[in-house]
């Protein structure tokens, strides 16, 4: 079906030739990358006028295209909004003499962060999100952290999407913030003295690389650690037992960790284990014993070891949970009396917990074909219960506590859908597609129980497939709006994630990256073969590195899809990896390859990069969303991709670009404003598949 649309903008061509390893290439749209992009991220007004004019023309074009869906968008927004409990709150979490939680009042876009005393139910508002947000068009809260003494609150704000957060310290007795804030903060933790704190500073290149200690009677912060290698980024946290500050520096496949006594924050950091190529590890503390999750000794799916704080090096590591070929040790929580492990086997997560005093061990399993789990450590080290979150594509989120002594489970909260939701009206299935090299690709399917598998249903096929990050089979009340209109929703758990263990990711580094894309295509063909959908009825969808997935797949088989939805897509891979000044480039060379220094890796990226491999063909309808102040995937990746696609397509389907001129990687803020973009994407999917009805 050909979709007619108003005349589209035509980007000017200004050919720029670059040469690497003796290979020349021409980029006609390099001009869309503002020379002052550092300034643009901080201050969108500084965008050069010719680029602004082009982006605004693209915005006007997509608005015109969607004009006939305005009524549908409003219906979708109201539907999705009706599934949100407006006066909602989180489960209170105990810390000392208080319960801390967040709450939404009816109609509010942002939460209030509150607490109540364990002795009464009186609620004290610590941070009033709706009130604080009034002055800003974009309002993103970075952190909310109360002090150990419960009399101070650290909070941070990003007001333009750049993720350059500004830190404030609030006196909870007076309700007033310190007169002096700290700019460009990405990470914070209190010290045990209730007065001092550590924070991570972000440099002009948007790299978190310095740790400072702020002491109460010293106006100048003290530099504690400076990471000078741009491939490594720094983050900071406190141990659950409250005794240690953890300084973590790392990149995608390498870690180096130091700890500092929270009781003596000016003491020298203790290096746990020097960085080593390919060695990943994380640290948890239990008094003077460290628990380390590590992939050392060829433990690809990770193992757990212990070591003394005063001599923490590898030579003293004692294994307590061995490596298992079929089980991924995903994460660890160390309580005073119990060790909690989140594991994953055959795509399904499970909880294992062990009592230190008796070595009594239990495994908590679940029955649905596909589901997701999240664990919460809470605030208290001596906790005797574990809180976890369970959901599936059809089961709304449930929050449970399990008593670690008795194994008794208590349902604390079940996500309420005010407009109604009956899980039995939907079917969740776990399928297995065969990849072209023989691998088995897990697929998670959500469809209405009345759907008929005759190939007539449109399909929204979602994928990510990068950084070892799996896509959870968790509940989304929004996707119900498409499923109720006849769509089948499928998550393709392609290689590049961790759904089938760490090897599922390792296979896709550098030269193996194309497996991610062919897995996605093979997943689509499996759905067609089994009559879930048909060729030309599939809309692919991906965000960020998932945008790379849908962009590369599009170039390989453009006629397979009826449309593509790409959110902040990482599609200009070669040019981005050639620019070491960009925030994430150096730290991601271990993932994609370093095309600056390595000719072979240059060629590998050039062979699949979506922007480089656009060709004259009949492309399907494409909708791209980006953010002007995005520091992760910069706006020009989307605008260059759209300009080049439109210049060479031999078809007549719309190629659309929406650039949020006042936001970054995560789009609009506010729980209702966000629905506007979701409704726009769903309206696109419904329109191009012939489902454009109310």
Nearest to 540 by CA among 436, 658, 620, 444: 620
Please give the order of strands across the beta sheet that includes 361-364. Answer: 327-334, 338-345, 348-355, 361-364
Region at 184 (left for phi over 0; alpha for psi -120 to 50; beta for the rest): left
| 684 and 68 Cβ atoms separated by less than 8 Å | no
- Radius of gyration, CA atoms only, the chain: 25
Place of tokens 């960020």: 544
Catalytic residue, chosen from 248, 284, 323, 665, is 665
CA angle (555, 561, 564) in 5-degree steps: 75
3-state SS assignment for residue 677? helix
Q: Under 8 Å CB-to-CB from 359, ≥6 apart: which residues?
A: none
At 65, phi and psi to the nearest 5?
-60, -40
How buried is 303 (Cβ within 10 angstroms: 0-12 exposed, 13-18 middle, 19+ buried)? Answer: buried
Computed from CA positions of residues 404, 409, 413, 418, in that sequence, does the dihedral angle turn out positive or negative?
Answer: positive
DSSP result, 64-93? HHTGGGHHHHHHHHHHHHHTS-SS-BPPPE
Q: Under 8 Å CB-to-CB from 683, ≥6 apart: which residues?
A: 66, 69, 72, 73, 76, 692
Active site residue 358: no
Catalytic residue, chosen from 630, 638, 639, 663, is 630
Active site residue 665: yes
Task: Write the secondary structure of 192-228 as one string of H (helix), E (strand) and C (coil).
Answer: CCCCCEEEEEECCCCCEEEEEEECCCCCCCEEEEECC
Which of 39-48's residues contact partners 24+ apart within 8 Å by CB, and which partners? 40/628, 40/629, 41/162, 41/164, 41/206, 41/629, 41/630, 41/631, 41/664, 42/160, 42/162, 42/164, 42/629, 43/160, 44/160, 44/628, 44/629, 44/661, 44/662, 47/628
Q: How far apart are CA 534 and CA 536, in angstroms?
A: 6
DSSP result, 340-406? EEEEEETTEEEEEEEETTT--EEEE---SSS-EEEEE--S-TT-SEEEEEEE-SSS--EEEEEETTT
3-state SS assignment for residue 533? coil
Residue burial 325-334, b: 16+ Cβ < 10 Å; e: rest = eebbbbbbbb
Active site residue 630: yes
Q: How far apart are CA 259 and CA 511, in angstroms?
A: 36
Place of tokens 């680029």: 51
| 11 and 55 Cβ atoms separated by less than 8 Å | no
Q: How far apart are CA 398 and CA 390, in angstroms?
A: 5
Q: Token digits for 313?
A: 């090096």
Q: Token digits for 343?
A: 């594991």
At 550, phi and psi to the nearest 5?
-75, -30
Catalytic residue, chosen from 372, 466, 544, 639, is 544
Q: Token digits for 598?
A: 């390595």
Q: Hey, which residues are catalytic here? A: 544, 630, 665
């Amino acid at each position: 079906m050909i979709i007619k649309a108003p005349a589209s903008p035509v980007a000017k061509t200004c050919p720029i030739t670059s040469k690497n390893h003796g290979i020349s290439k021409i980029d006609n749209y390099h001009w869309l990358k503002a020379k002052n992009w550092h300034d643009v991220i901080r201050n969108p007004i500084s965008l050069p006028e010719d680029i602004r004019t082009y982006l605004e023309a693209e915005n006007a074009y997509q608005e015109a295209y969607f004009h006939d869906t305005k009524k549908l968008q409003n219906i979708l927004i109201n539907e999705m909004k009706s599934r949100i409990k407006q006066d909602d709150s989180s489960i209170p979490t105990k810390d000392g003499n208080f319960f801390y939680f967040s709450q939404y009042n009816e109609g509010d876009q942002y939460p209030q962060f509150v607490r109540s005393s364990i002795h009464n139910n009186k609620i004290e508002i610590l941070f009033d999100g709706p009130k604080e947000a009034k002055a800003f068009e974009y309002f993103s809260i970075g952190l909310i952290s109360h002090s150990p003494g419960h009399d101070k609150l650290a909070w941070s704000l990003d007001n333009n999407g750049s993720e350059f957060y500004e830190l404030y310290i609030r006196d909870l007795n007076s309700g007033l913030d310190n007169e002096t804030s700290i700019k460009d903060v990405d990470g914070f933790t209190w010290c045990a003295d209730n007065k001092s704190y550590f924070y991570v500073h972000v440099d002009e290149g948007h790299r978190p690389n310095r740790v400072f200690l702020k002491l109460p009677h010293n106006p100048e912060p003290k530099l504690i650690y400076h990471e000078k290698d741009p491939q490594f980024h720094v983050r900071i946290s406190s141990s659950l037992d409250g005794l240690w500050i953890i300084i973590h520096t790392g990149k995608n496949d390498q870690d180096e960790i130091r700890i500092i006594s929270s009781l003596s924050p000016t003491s020298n950091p203790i290096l746990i284990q020097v960085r080593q190529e390919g060695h990943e590890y994380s640290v948890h503390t239990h008094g003077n014993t460290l628990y380390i999750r590590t992939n050392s000794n060829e433990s690809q799916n990770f193992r757990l070891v212990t070591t003394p704080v005063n001599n923490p090096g590898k030579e003293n590591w004692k294994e307590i949970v061995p490596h298992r070929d079929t089980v991924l040790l995903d994460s660890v929580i160390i309580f005073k009396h119990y060790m909690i492990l989140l594991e994953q086997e055959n795509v399904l997560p499970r909880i294992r917990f062990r009592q230190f005093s008796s070595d009594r061990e239990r495994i908590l399993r679940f029955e649905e074909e596909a589901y997701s789990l999240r664990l919460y450590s809470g605030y208290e080290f001596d906790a005797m219960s574990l809180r976890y979150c369970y959901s599936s594509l059809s089961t709304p989120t449930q929050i449970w506590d399990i008593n670690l002594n008795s194994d008794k489970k208590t349902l604390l909260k079940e996500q309420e859908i005010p407009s109604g939701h009956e899980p039995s009206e939907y079917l969740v299935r776990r399928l297995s597609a065969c990849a072209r090299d023989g691998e088995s690709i897990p697929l998670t399917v959500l469809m209405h129980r009345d759907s008929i598998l005759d190939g007539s249903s449109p399909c929204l096929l979602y994928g990510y497939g990068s950084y070892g990050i799996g896509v959870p089979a968790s509940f989304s009340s929004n996707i119900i709006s498409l499923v109720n209109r006849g769509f089948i929703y499928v998550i393709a758990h392609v290689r590049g994630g961790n759904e089938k263990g760490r090897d599922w990711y390792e296979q896709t580094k550098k030269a193996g990256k194309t497996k991610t894309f062919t897995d996605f295509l093979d997943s689509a063909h499996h759905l067609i073969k089994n009559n879930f959908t048909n060729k030309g009825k599939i809309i692919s969808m991906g965000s960020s590195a998932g945008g790379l997935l849908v962009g590369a797949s599009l170039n390989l088989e453009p006629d397979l899809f009826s449309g593509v939805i790409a959110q902040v897509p990482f599609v200009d891979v070669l040019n981005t990896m050639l620019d070491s000044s960009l925030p994430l480039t150096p730290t991601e060379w271990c993932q994609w390859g370093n095309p600056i220094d390595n000719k072979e890796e240059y060629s590998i990226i050039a062979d699949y990069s979506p922007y480089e491999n656009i060709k004259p063909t009949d492309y399907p309808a494409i909708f791209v969303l980006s953010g002007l102040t995005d520091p992760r995937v910069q706006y020009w990746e989307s605008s260059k991709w759209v300009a080049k696609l439109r210049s060479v397509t031999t078809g007549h389907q719309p190629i659309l670009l929406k650039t949020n001129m006042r936001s970054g990687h995560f789009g609009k803020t506010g729980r209702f404003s966000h629905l506007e973009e979701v409704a726009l994407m769903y309206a696109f999917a419904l329109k191009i598949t012939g489902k454009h009805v109310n």
